[in-house]
Amino acid sequence: MISAIIFDLDGTLVDSSECIVQAAQFVRNKHSLRAVSSRDIRSKIGQPLDRMLSNLFDIKGPLLQQAITDYSTAYVQQASTEEKLFPPTLSLLTKLRNAGFLLAIATGKSQHGAENASARLGLTPYFDTIHGIVPGTPGKPDPAIIFRVMKALNVHPSQCLMVGDTTFDIDLAHAAGVHTIAVNWGVHSEQLLKSRKPKFFAKNFEELQHHLLQHSP
């Protein structure tokens, strides 16, 4: 029986991809790095920030650390006005809470970023636990973050379902033995997501809600 639903944040509950693209392009312009397209950036969303920027711009060492700082500053500025919930998000979460599910966030943002974004967007009251990447631990698709979530909720993998918009979300859930749902409104394509064989593929929030409520505790 499914008792806990674990959500990715960016691209799943929150429409933030343009903020990420603009922050990455700010870094590119500031440091005169190699040109990348919006598509290139979107394909990396969900990875830890250091890996994303390193892969995008082929940088490391002090330049990478400065790029991370500059990206974070630019992202916060963009997100303060441009980062939005997908319109059905709060209605979905309300129904899931009322149905008795435990709810959690497992995001590639830092822990600080995850908590700040959740508070700013009004998500915090809906979740039993919120998890981002903490120093010294690997990011997605390593399953470390989902093991932290399960420990916090005191649940077994068979009781959990991960909802995400990227292959990183599906891969980490499979690695942890957690059920999976891929969604169609984020950054990875339907073809790419289905190649990871999620248990269910939701084309819209209505389909996602209907499927989740069928598993009510």
Residue recorded with tokens 């691209």: 11
pLDDT at 47: 85
Q: Return the amino acid letter for 89.
A: T
Structure pTM?
0.92
pLDDT at 217: 76
Contact 53, 63 (CB under 8 A): no
Domain at 4-15+84-213, CATH class: alpha beta
Contact 108, 75 (CB under 8 A): no
CA distance 174 to 11: 19
Strand arrangement of the beta sheet that strand 200-202 belongs to: 129-133, 102-110, 4-7, 160-164, 179-183, 200-202
pLDDT at 93: 98
* Topology agreement, domain 4-15+84-213 and domain 17-82: no
pLDDT at 37: 95
pLDDT at 215: 85
* Mean of per-residue pLDDT scores for the chain: 95
Give residue limits of the domains in the chain.
4-15+84-213, 17-82
Q: Which CATH number fits domain 17-82: 3.40.950.10, 1.10.150.240, 3.40.50.1950, 1.10.10.60?
A: 1.10.150.240
Report helix, strand or coil for 177. Answer: coil
Mean pLDDT (10-residue bins), the chain, 217 residues: 96 94 97 95 89 95 96 92 95 98 95 94 98 92 96 97 97 97 95 97 97 89
**pLDDT tens across 134-168, in order?**
988 999 999 999 999 999 999 999 999 999 999 99
